[in-house]
């Protein structure tokens, strides 16, 4: 069966590549050189969506890869600071090993401050692996940098969780990076002789280098692709990736969209490589209008790049693309970016579809940009208790500063307002004796015939047909009630305002509805019969003045209002003391008003002014 590449999807891919070139000019060149317009109308229409997708991946996240791989954040750092760096003591092999040291974390500041000073010493190159041991010099320097700066130690493009090796999080992260560096240095020692062997063909060197990389512990197809791209950029004359490239899981979605009927197996490396070769050949032979616009825009961008990086030969070789000669490495990397763009815009036809149901697990890992051969399980005690039963436990993280993750709950605990000690005395009304004797305490005031509950805003015709309203709905009948879900700040003041407002309006009393309270019935007499008034309510009554102007004590006013209420002697003494203080305050106010009312005569004012002048 001849595998066909979708012409429509291929044209969409070229429109995406034009947007990649325009963003590359804006980000890498800037100024007037970065102002390149898209001549293809389809690519111009795609540009707003492309901008919305690429914006979050710029800056600190370091997740966006331009069309020219050498102009990526990590690749350009290696060109400027390692391969074209000002270190005269480094030969080709030392630069090769230093590249693998940087690739273990891909953080430029971390490499320059914590690692590069040691790489400049001759003692480092005597035994590089020992420098990254548990008590090695570079390992200690890395830990000191982390504790001093609290900066991330690996790029956010690495979505891998470090294994739990020690209790301290900073030390655990440093140990994981040091172990990864040792693995990469061992791989570099095995790959270096192959790079220096020019007798073999590029295809043979590619197969052997890829095999040696994937022998490393935890290094899979994606790691092999990333390291192979770095080697190809540093040694372009080998031609390792001109026709071959390891296909990571991120590019599988793009391949499936370009070849919807291929039945691509994400686990089979040979199947992915065959599909990549077919797509690369089809792209180089494409004669569609979007492809022609792409080649024209590519020549403009590369002319600007030649002027910008003319002093760096390795970059110059990477920005000299011949029309109709895209490399497999470039197509593979751009397929990864295109797949993310399609997923962001929900254009996922044939991206995650698979002809076999046996490979569903591989589709869930297509978002890992840098992953190993198999996902490492969480090794913390908390994760061991939760990961087996909780499907929402997070297995990846975009920020390593909070690693290792211990799992996230599926839902947050709802907010519960704090309870006041002793309850809300002003609003918690007693249950009448006849109702309590009946056995069942009504949940709502509307369970009493003819009563009206302010919180429920409903009237029941009989006790057999209660009408309830949820606490979250708006209550119009009960004024000055606190918001739902929030504790009341001034309960006594609220109750007083409720009683006064209801009394002035001539409406039925409104009371909060709780499980242990009953309705406040129609008038004052029924209220006195149904509810035993607490003594604390009497103290919250406002003071009143008599017709003669004397201040009437609080409790005396309460006795006049309710003749049958019992008032204890301590409360009377307290009220009398408060009455005396108010009378004393009134006398002071009268005397101050008399003093303020006196004004000196004009002669007295002039005499005082004359005496002040004489003293001066």
Quickly count: other Cβ atoms within 10 Å of residue 531's Cβ. Answer: 19
The better pLDDT of the pair 247, 477 is held by: 247
User: Is residue 343 located within the same domain as residue 438?
Assistant: no
The better pLDDT of the pair 549, 237 is held by: 237
The better pLDDT of the pair 312, 35 is held by: 312
Rounded mean pLDDT, 352-356: 42
**Helices and strands (DSSP H and E) totals, the chain:** 26, 4
Q: Using alpha carbons only, how large is the chain's radius of gyration in Å? A: 41
- Domain annotation covers residue 231: yes
Query: Considering its fold, how many domains does the chain have in total?
Result: 2
- For strands 544-545 and 551-552, give the pairing: antiparallel
Give burial (CB, 10 Å; 0-12/13-18/19+) of 44.
Answer: middle
Hunting for tokens 């600071």 — which residue is that?
Answer: 81
User: Is residue 440 located within the same domain as residue 322?
Assistant: no
Contacts of 101 (CB under 8 A, 6+ apart): 111, 115, 119, 128, 181, 184, 185
- Domain annotation covers residue 82: yes
Of 293-297, 349-353, 398-402, the range with the highest mean pLDDT is 293-297
- Domain annotation covers residue 233: yes
User: 236 near 318, Cβ under 8 Å?
Assistant: yes
3-state helix, strand, coil in the chain (%, to 5): 55, 0, 45
Boundary (domain end) residue, out of 497, 532, 567: 532
Q: Give dist(CA 384, CA 413) in Å, integer.
A: 22
Hunting for tokens 């993280």 — which residue is that?
Answer: 397
User: 29 near 305, Cβ under 8 Å?
Assistant: yes
Q: Give dist(CA 265, CA 611) in Å, integer.
A: 110
- Domain annotation covers residue 544: no
User: Is residue 344 located within the same domain as residue 457?
Assistant: no
pLDDT the model gives residue 448: 40
User: Is residue 324 located within the same domain as residue 452?
Assistant: no
pLDDT the model gives residue 269: 66
pLDDT the model gives residue 405: 29
Boundary (domain end) residue, out of 322, 348, 374: 348
User: Is residue 296 located within the same domain as residue 442?
Assistant: no
Q: pLDDT band at 271, cuts 50/70/90?
A: confident
Which is nearest to 12 in space by CA: 54, 53, 40, 48? Answer: 40
Q: DSSP class of residue 481?
A: P
- Domain annotation covers residue 258: yes
Q: pLDDT band at 556, cuts 50/70/90?
A: low
Q: Give dist(CA 532, CA 593) in Å, integer.
A: 46
pLDDT per residue as tens digits for the range 56-89? 888 777 778 899 988 988 889 999 899 888 777 7
- Domain annotation covers residue 190: yes
User: 224 near 373, Cβ under 8 Å?
Assistant: no
Give CA torsion, residues 307, 311, 314, 319, to 10 deg: 0
Strand partners, 545: 551
Q: Whole-prediction pTM value?
A: 0.54
Boundary (domain end) residue, out of 308, 325, 348: 348
Q: Give dist(CA 368, CA 339) in Å, integer.
A: 12
Helices marked H in 153-220: 169-196, 202-214
- Domain annotation covers residue 376: no
Instruction: Supply the mean pLDDT for the chain.
Output: 71
Which is nearest to 458 in space by CA: 192, 448, 245? Answer: 448
When mean pLDDT is compared across 222-231, 320-329, 576-585, the lowest value belongs to 576-585
Is residue 366 pLDDT above 50, yes or no?
Answer: no
Strand partners, 453: 458
| H/E stretch holding 576 | helix 569-597
Q: Give dist(CA 453, CA 226) in Å, integer.
A: 71
When mean pLDDT is compared across 127-136, 389-398, 582-591, 604-613, the lowest value belongs to 389-398
User: Is residue 291 located within the same domain as residue 166?
Assistant: yes
User: Is residue 170 located within the same domain as residue 266?
Assistant: yes
> Domain range for residue 171?
7-348
Q: What angle do CA 403, 406, 408 make, to 5 degrees?
A: 110
Give burial (CB, 10 Å; 0-12/13-18/19+) of 144.
Answer: middle
Q: What angle do CA 18, 49, 263 make, to 5 degrees?
A: 75
The better pLDDT of the pair 156, 148 is held by: 148
Phi then psi for 79, rounded to 5 degrees?
A: -65, -45
- Domain annotation covers residue 64: yes
Q: What angle do CA 362, 65, 4 make, to 5 degrees?
A: 55
User: Is residue 216 located within the same domain as residue 70?
Assistant: yes
């Amino acid at each position: 069966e001849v595998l066909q590449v979708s012409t429509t999807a291929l044209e969409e891919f070229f429109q995406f590549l034009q947007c990649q070139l325009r963003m590359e000019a804006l980000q890498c060149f800037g100024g007037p050189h970065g102002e390149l317009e898209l001549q293809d109308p389809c690519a111009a229409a795609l540009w707003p969506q492309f901008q919305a997708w690429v914006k979050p991946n710029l800056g600190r996240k370091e997740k966006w890869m331009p069309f020219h791989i050498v102009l990526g954040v990590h690749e350009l750092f290696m060109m400027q600071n390692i391969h074209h760096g000002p270190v005269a003591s480094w030969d080709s092999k030392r630069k090769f090993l230093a590249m693998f040291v940087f690739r273990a974390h891909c953080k430029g500041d971390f490499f320059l401050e914590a690692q590069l000073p040691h790489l400049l010493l001759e003692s480092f190159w005597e035994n590089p692996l020992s420098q990254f041991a548990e008590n090695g010099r570079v390992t200690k320097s890395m830990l000191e940098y982390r504790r001093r700066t609290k900066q991330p130690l690996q790029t956010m493009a690495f979505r891998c969780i470090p294994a739990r090796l020690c209790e301290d999080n900073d030390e655990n992260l440093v140990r994981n990076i040091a172990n990864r560096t040792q693995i990469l240095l061992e791989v570099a020692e095995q790959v270096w002789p192959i790079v220096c062997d020019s007798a073999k063909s590029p295809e043979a060197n590619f197969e052997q280098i890829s095999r040696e990389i994937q022998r490393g512990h935890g290094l899979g197809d994606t790691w092999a692709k990333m390291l192979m791209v770095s080697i190809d950029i540093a040694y372009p004359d080998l031609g390792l990736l001109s026709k071959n490239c390891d296909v990571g899981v991120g590019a599988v979605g793009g391949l499936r969209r370009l070849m919807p009927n291929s039945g691509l197996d994400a686990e089979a490396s040979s199947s992915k490589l065959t599909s990549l070769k077919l797509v690369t050949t089809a792209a180089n032979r494409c004669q569609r209008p979007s492809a022609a616009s792409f080649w024209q825009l590519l020549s403009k961008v590369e002319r600007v790049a030649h002027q910008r990086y003319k002093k760096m030969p390795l970059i110059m070789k990477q920005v000299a693309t011949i029309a109709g000669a895209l490399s497999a490495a470039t197509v593979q990397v751009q397929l990864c970016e295109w797949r993310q763009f399609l997923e962001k815009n929900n254009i996922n036809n044939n991206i995650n579809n698979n002809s076999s149901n046996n490979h569903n697990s591989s589709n869930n890992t297509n978002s890992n940009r840098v992953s190993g051969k198999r996902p490492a399980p969480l090794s913390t005690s908390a994760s061991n208790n939760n990961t087996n039963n909780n499907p929402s436990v997070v297995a990846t993280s975009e920020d390593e500063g909070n690693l290792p993750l211990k799992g996230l709950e599926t839902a947050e605990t709802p907010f519960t307002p704090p309870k006041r000690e002793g309850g809300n005395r002003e609003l918690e009304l007693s249950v009448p004796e006849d109702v309590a004797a009946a056995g069942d305490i009504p949940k709502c005031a509307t369970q009493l015939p003819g009563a009206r509950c302010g919180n429920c805003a409903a009237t029941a015709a009989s006790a057999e047909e209660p009408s309830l309203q949820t606490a979250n709905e708006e209550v119009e009948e009960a004024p000055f009630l606190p918001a739902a879900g929030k504790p009341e700040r001034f309960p006594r003041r609220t109750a007083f305002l409720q009683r006064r407002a209801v009394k002035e309006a001539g409406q039925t009393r409104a009371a909060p509805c709780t499980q242990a309270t009953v309705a406040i019935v129609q008038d004052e007499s029924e209220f006195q019969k149904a509810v035993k008034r607490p003594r604390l309510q009497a103290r919250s009554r406002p003071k009143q003045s008599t017709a003669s102007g004397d201040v009437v004590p609080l409790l005396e006013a309460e006795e006049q209002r309710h003749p049958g209420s019992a008032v204890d002697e301590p409360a009377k003494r307290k009220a009398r003391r408060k009455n005396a203080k108010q009378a004393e305050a009134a006398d002071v106010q009268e005397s101050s008003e008399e003093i303020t009312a006196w004004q000196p005569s004009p002669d007295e004012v002039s005499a005082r002014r004359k005496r002040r002048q004489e003293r001066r």
